[in-house]
Structure 1
């Protein structure tokens, strides 16, 4: 259609610059090995940190709930009603995160949209880390507040922004706990000190640290011992917990406020019972089987050290998110294509997801990867890296 030619031009432009997202269909279950077009690949791109997508307890909980309560929720929670198991999940979440209350959203993305569009208001300013997830930024844009970005993990710049914004009704600082493309951690103790010094609100998106950092995977807030000093915690079930959905853990008044004001909560259909049951089972597994978290960190150290020994630049990663820095977007795309042909599923990431000139291969190591799989992957990285002169 001629009226849509401008869309085609934009798509073709992204393809020429190797900035397009290639969607690869997988067959069967998500795991450390996946099937793509009849070919087995080692999966190094999924956020399935603890390998819970196929854990027997999680799968059985989902199956049982599907048989008991059907395939869907029938509508939004404020109209069709809320399943008692959803409220039970929220109570379990609050206990897990050591907060007064919790509220579940349909997805992690919509959780940030709801929080950041409804809590900041006219006369407020949001101070956001430059590397925060796009869902945070889009939520702020939907609010009536102003936004100022501070340099990534730069506490001097954050304090400057706090000091220069004291004429606003309220300052709100928001940061990822673990940053999704670099795998580094926010300096939360320093951020908390500044927030308290300037009487601001702190929101921490712990999506990539729940199930990974802290006691039994309670996140960076627990990791740093900052309970009761962080006002709002955002999380997701789609990463370490292996299911889907998002949540907020905070005070009861914050959760009540969001259920009345966050449009992405009010107007989104609730989770089906099977999803809620799977989330609850995943939380139980994390609490009952701490050895899974230990395996995650053992595997992460092994693979990161292996890449470094081969000469790859893994940036500032302190988590199972391991960026293999390449720089040029086209070279990163070629690297990912060659790795794919050699049997590895690990995608390249380039602008605008990361800054220009900072393209990389984003690797995720999980608790479920075997040493055999990791050693095989390292050998492939070494061969392809040398072929493309990324390492010598």
Structure 2
């Protein structure tokens, strides 16, 4: 079968949409704020320090004091006790890194706080542009924009996608054949689901859900769909399962059907790939992914989102320092994967990522398990309806570079007391 060039087709549709709304001329006239240049010693990104191993600041992100609810306190007042955190998404522990904190402090002292206004009016600065350039380079894309959150990155992109249907339509409202057919993995993040629901409600898209990681189902849906404009969107690492999308199979289907391939790299940016470029870099298929959506609240260790390949919103200068540090301190990625391997060896649980989802069963049983883990000194996220089915409630554990093998042994011992079917016999790790 002749390969379909999705790149050429979608570039044409996007160009026609931009021409229709005059976006090119509008965007070219937007000012970019030129903040006062700092002195050399004030430059936020000057002398970004990197280290060959963990420092005391790393441990502060996983070993904290928490307040015990009043009902559990002997004197009727909240009591404080030490707790190990296995619920953070800060996999590389960069939020506490001295270089990231230093850059953030310098930037706030120099330029103040807040974006000054929406990105398209007065909020975009050369520092935001430097961050966007760094993220675009990291993911091997031509351009990038930052947004306020990962959620807004998803919704902003999907709103723009719907705009392609609207501005390529013959009339004000797209006919069925003029809409965009979007095929979404059934376990994609709620941010994607909400964005798709919005565009479908606007009459711009037709949304199809395919079975989780089920390529035969996706191929069948794509083959039967008569709509020309097709998009496939998937999480790279699924946040409620911890497994990975079948990227090579998706690339083959892209070649067959010519769809726009969109990947949410929220849980894989800076964690997968030699340089932290995510799943695309890890599998060597960066050129086959058309659009990447991401969140900076995971491995980058702060707040914000981004979309590679479009122009949207702004975020804080300290994120650029986090990207710089993560690329240099490659040991952080290795430590995360060491913890994943060790957890698997300790429990026989086939972990594919730092996200470990242990199904307990009913909501009541899962809450009991969560309380048990708190009593044993571990903070773990509980996942209950409507996020998952009522009989598939689970404990969601996330592993980071700051956790130790000793932490895992204690964790596994406590889990074996409240998670049915978890095989924790023996300790093969030496």
Q: TM bucket by the smaller chain?
A: 0.7 to 0.9
1:336 matched to 2:370: yes
SS in 1 for 2:416: helix
SS in 2 for 1:240: coil
Q: How does 1:100-249 map to 2 (within 5 A)?
A: 100-120=142-162, 121=165, 122=174, 123-143=179-199, 144-165=204-225, 167-249=226-308
Alignment counterpart, residue 42 of structure 1, candidates 61, 84, 93: 84
Give the corresponding residue for 2:17. none
Q: Distance in 2 between matches of 1:155 and 1:190?
A: 7
CA deviation profile, 1:334-376 (whole Å, cap 9, x unmatched): 1011101211000221222123322111000101112232222
SS in 2 for 1:215: coil
Q: How does 1:13-92 map to 2 (within 5 A)?
A: 31-37=61-67, 38-92=80-134
1:366 matched to 2:400: yes
CA deviation profile, 1:315-337 (whole Å, cap 9, x unmatched): x6410001112122211111011
> Contact conserved, 1:339 with 1:345, CA < 8 A, in 2?
yes
Q: Distance in 2 between matches of 1:318 and 1:242?
A: 21
Give me the TM-score of the superposition, normalised by structure 1: 0.82
> Contact conserved, 2:138 with 2:276, CA < 8 A, in 1?
no
**389 and 191 in structure 1: CA distance in 2 versus 1, 3 angstrom threshold:** closer
Structure possessing the higher radius of gyration over alpha carbons? 2
**354 and 367 in structure 1: CA distance in 2 versus 1, 3 angstrom threshold:** same
CA deviation profile, 1:253-312 (whole Å, cap 9, x unmatched): xx14xx3xxxxx4xxxx43xxxx232111101111110111111001211232233xxxx
Cα drift, residue 391 of structure 1:
6.8
Cα drift, residue 33 of structure 1:
1.2
Cα drift, residue 150 of structure 1:
0.3
Q: Distance in 2 between matches of 1:357 and 1:106?
A: 35
**391 and 92 in structure 1: CA distance in 2 versus 1, 3 angstrom threshold:** closer
CA deviation profile, 1:94-128 (whole Å, cap 9, x unmatched): 11111111111111011001112221334111100
Q: Distance in 2 between matches of 1:389 and 1:228?
A: 42
Q: Distance in 2 between matches of 1:317 and 1:113?
A: 30
Give the corresponding residue for 2:337. 297
Give the corresponding residue for 2:36. none
CA deviation profile, 1:192-217 (whole Å, cap 9, x unmatched): 11122111111000111112111222
> Contact conserved, 2:363 with 2:391, CA < 8 A, in 1?
yes
CA deviation profile, 1:132-182 (whole Å, cap 9, x unmatched): 0011011111112110100000000000010011x2130110000000011
4+ residue runs over 3 A deviation: 388-392
> Contact conserved, 1:155 with 1:190, CA < 8 A, in 2?
yes
Count residues with an aligned counterpart.
336
Q: Distance in 1 between matches of 2:421 and 2:196?
A: 42
5+ residue gaps, structure 2: 1-58, 68-79, 166-173, 425-430
RMSD: 1.8
